Amino acid sequence: MLDYNPVTGQKGQCVIAGRGAVAIYLALKNISQYGKCVIVPANICYAAVFPIIYAGYTPLFCDVNPADGNVSLRIIKDSYNDSVAAAIIPHMYGNPVSDMCAIKSFFLQKGVKLIEDCASLMTNRSGSYRPGTVGDYVIYSTGYSKTVDIGIGGLLFSVSADLEDAEKEERSLNPYQECIGDEWRIFSKIYRTIRNNGQNSLIVKGIYKSFEKNLKDLLIYSINDKYKNDILNNISRLDEIIVLRENKYNLYLEHLKDSDCGYSIYKFEDGAVPWRFNMLVREETNRAFIEYCLRYGLPVSDWYPCVTPIFGIYDSFDDAMWHENHIVNFPLLIPDEEIIRICRVIKGYKEKK
């Protein structure tokens, strides 16, 4: 176990884990208030929700700000009840949650543990505050498409909590196997197919229920010391990677303005590390725009969706659904020529319209 946060340099205890989901699982096991609820945004990655269930808690979904996909203090206050033991608050798309410090103060009053989810915002920089230094627990990911992407790995850090039992728990988990990546890709294809074709049938509900029963070994596992050393070595390049991401994002901005594409470009706040290049496309043209991009071979995504149906929750999270129906994004860590081509194709769509 490390005695510091390798991202921020802050003193504390840090466990290197197999992925961000494992870090969440270990944090909740360490909190050990089984049977209680964990607040989590409706549009968080589903891989962050399954560990809540596997650790012995119930997810309590909340809505988000429609424009940026993050939560606010108002949303958290509206969602809180006495059954809540913890909350997972992610910095969506690498964009810092503006109310994070206020949320922490609210949770201190209520005795709720804040798990600050920095899976998409690995940074040692500060905006209005320093991400990764607010939560009672902080989790990171070095998995696919994250700030530092090596395809595997995560961190659990805390200034105040004793993580000795969490480290023992991590080492007791089933070891990572290479086939897990292949099986996870199959799962992702199944989920996308279901999501794109309706999620409310009895068959789909049954499939979703089977996910909960069968995914634990794909999400919760230990990794060997070689992987752990690789994670630390790659995190040591964080400054270089952040600059690269910012340069790639700015290249999009050089070639694509709101006035060019006819839609709004997602706004990042001070202290952000862009995850992808995000756009908010009008709901009535969103699907047609994505299909147009796919016809031209663009690597387009509409991540992150509202994931509550996977967990049998069909309540209306109006703002999370608004966000799902508008968000479109493109990768950053690709050749400059491809970014320029993407921008040219997007502007061509506007001209056709």
Note the pTM of the prediction, 2 decimals: 0.97
- Exposed / middle / buried, residue 61 (Cβ in 10 Å: 0-12, 13-18, 19+): buried
Return the pLDDT at 267.
95
- Summarised one tens digit per residue, pLDDT across range 266-325 is 999 999 999 999 999 999 999 999 999 999 999 999 999 999 999 999 878 999 999 999
The angle subtended at Cα 187 by Cα 181 and Cα 191, nearest 5°, is 145
pLDDT tens, position by position, 118-146:
999 999 999 899 999 999 999 999 999 99
pLDDT at 181 over 60: yes
Closest CA to 137 of 42, 54, 43, 15: 15
Could you tell me which residues come within 8 angstroms of residue 345 by beta carbon, excluding any fewer than 6 positions away? 293, 296, 298
347 or 72, greater pLDDT? 72
pLDDT of residue 107 exceeding 60, the answer is yes
Backbone angles phi, psi at 38, to 5 degrees: -125, 120
The token duo for 334 is 């690709």
pLDDT for 352 equals: 58
Can you list the domains of the chain with their CATH numbers? 2-177+212-234 (3.40.640.10), 238-352 (3.90.1150.10)
pLDDT at 207: 87
Q: What is the DSSP string of 268-308?
A: PPTT---SSEEEE--HHHHHHHHHHHHHTT---B------G
pLDDT of residue 252: 97
Structure confidence by residue, pLDDT tens digits, 34-53:
999 999 999 999 999 999 99
Instruction: Indicate the pLDDT class of residue 343, thresholds 50, 70 and 90.
Output: very high
Report the pLDDT averaged over residues 97-115: 98
- Confidence class of residue 261 from pLDDT cuts 50, 70 and 90? low
- 341 membership: H or E segment, kind and range: helix 336-352
So what's the pLDDT on residue 263? 83
What pLDDT is attached to residue 259?
65
- Tokens 């594409």 belong to 261
Mean pLDDT of the chain: 95
Single-letter code of the amino acid located at 95: N
Q: What integer pLDDT is reported at residue 8 of this predicted model? A: 97
Residue 328, CA distances (Å) to 31, 89, 198, 293 in order: 36, 22, 19, 11
310 vs 287: CA distance, rounded Å: 22
How does residue 351 score in pLDDT terms, banded at 50, 70 and 90?
low
pLDDT band at 204 (very low <50, low <70, confident <90, very high): confident
